[in-house]
Amino acid sequence: MEILLKDNVAKDGEYMTEPQAISVTAPAAEDLPKEKFDELEAFIDSMETTKGALIAILHKAQDIFGYLPRDVQLYIARKLGIPGAEVFGVVSFYSYFTTKPGGKHTLSVCMGTACFVRGADKVIERLKEKLNVESNETTEDGLFTLKDVRCIGACGLAPVVMVDDKVYGRVREEDVDDIIREYRSQEGQQ
């Protein structure tokens, strides 16, 4: 991907707060379509000022791309006229941001109080063991990303596991195998 940059020089050590006019001339080597950059650019350009807006922009970028690959981080840095290191620093500080593409399915285990006291810790441990990942990691086959999340508002069903938008309630440790099998069988896996 080539990023063309115009008029993006910070003066006197101050970062510019106006969105910068840049254009992405080709998609990156990875699967990063130009339309997604266009969407991100429109979001940034709609802001009156980008000062203090880096986190909001990163959230939007992660919504659009699903993750924050290096090219997207660099794009944001150039667009805002700030150092790439500043963007990388924020991305690596907040665990919410991820620089790796997620799995086909997001498997979220609620670790809110109601779920926790009803055994969510055992459920997530079992999932980690079965999938051979830690929280916020993706399985080797790219099928699942495991996440621990806060209360999702279904405490009456605690402990709760979500796969994408589907809610599984009163999940016991031993139910984990069936949930995984359900999605693997859709892929023709065992």
| Residues at the site binding ligand FES, with contacts judged by CB under 6 A | 110, 112-115, 151-155, 158, 160
Report, in Å, the least distance between residue 152 CB and ligand FES: 5
Report, in Å, the least distance between residue 160 CB and ligand FES: 5
Return the number of other C-beta atoms located less than 10 Å from residue 55's C-beta. 14
Report, in Å, the least distance between residue 154 CB and ligand FES: 4
DSSP state of 153: S
Compare residues 32 and 109 and give the one whose CB is closer to ligand FES. 109
Compare residues 113 and 185 and give the one whose CB is closer to ligand FES. 113
Reading the block at residue 149, the tokens are 């999340």
Residue of minimal Cβ distance to ligand FES: 112
Compare residues 24 and 120 and give the one whose CB is closer to ligand FES. 120
CA distance 189 to 137: 20
Of 170, 138, 3, 181, give the one whose Cα is nearest residue 84.
3
Compare residues 51 and 170 and give the one whose CB is closer to ligand FES. 170
Report, in Å, the least distance between residue 121 CB and ligand FES: 12
Q: Count of residues for the chain?
A: 190
CA distance 115 to 158: 5
* Cis previous bond, 159, omega within 30: yes
